[in-house]
Amino acid sequence: MPRKKTTGDHPPKSHELTGPDVRIVHALRRLVRALEINSRRLGAETGVTSAQLSCMKMLDLKDVDTATEIARRVHLSPSTVVGILDRLEDRKHLTRQRDGRDRRVVRVNLTREGKALVRKTPHPVRNLLEGQHNGLAKKDTVQIADALEKLVGVLGATGLDVDSPYSDLSDDTDRG
């Protein structure tokens, strides 16, 4: 009697992932999940999320003082950053005021409390990467960074327009 074929016996369809592609997708899903969990843990410990802390750390730099510049540097849409700034302002971590020369521009500054929080709170991803038991040597982290940047390029996300949530992913080499 002939053996009945199971789903694993036939070759995958062209749109199905196989081999290393499956490993990449699963690793990315686990990575996103780990970042979400770490952000929640940070929120429980400090009262701010990873995205909020990233925006606050940008404000702590001397040359960043507008929502637009924060958005550009943390790779979030300006509208998302404005929402983050609203919540941080409600918690007295920052202040906003109109520019004296150009009323269209709103300057954002950390309060004393905001600066103190930034200084005492290490970046959550840094904690994961520099943990005592992560087993990564400096050269390993460089290789991972190179591979992730290459993956971003392959996915066409290097120049991704964060202002448009539905912008097309495209290969940067096509942009001329």
Which residues, including other chains, have CB under 8 Å from residue 163's CB and lie 6 or more apart? 71, 77, 78
The verdict on 137 and 127 lying in the same domain is yes
Tell me, what CATH number does 110's domain have? 1.10.10.10
Provide the pLDDT for residue 163: 47
Classify each residue of 93-116 as buried b or exposed e, where b means 16 or more C-beta atoms within 10 Å of its C-beta.
bbebeeeeeeeeebebebeeebbe
- Examine the domain organization and report whether 90 and 113 are in the same domain: yes
What's the domain count of the chain? Answer: 2
* Residue 109 shares a structural domain with residue 141: no
Examine the domain organization and report whether 114 and 132 are in the same domain.
Answer: no
Residue ranges in the chain modelled with pLDDT below 70: 1-14, 124, 127-134, 159-176
User: In sequence order, which ranges of 91-173 are alpha helices (DSSP H)?
Assistant: 112-120, 124-129, 138-154
Neighbours of 91 (CB within 10 A): 15
pLDDT given for residue 7 in this prediction: 55
At which of 92, 120, 148 does a domain end? 120
Residues 97 and 137 in one domain: no
Neighbour-count burial of 76, counting CB atoms closer than 10 A to its CB (0-12 exposed, 13-18 middle, 19+ buried): buried
Domain membership of residue 149 as a residue range? 122-156
> Within this chain, do residues 128 and 106 fall inside the same structural domain, yes or no?
no
Residue 41 is predicted with a pLDDT of 87
**What is the four-CA torsion angle of 9, 11, 13, 19, rounded to 10 degrees?**
100
Give me the pLDDT at residue 94, please: 96
pLDDT of residue 10: 59
pTM: 0.70
Q: Are residues 126 and 116 in the same domain?
A: no
Residues 87 and 127 in one domain: no
76/172 Cα distance (integer angstroms)? 19
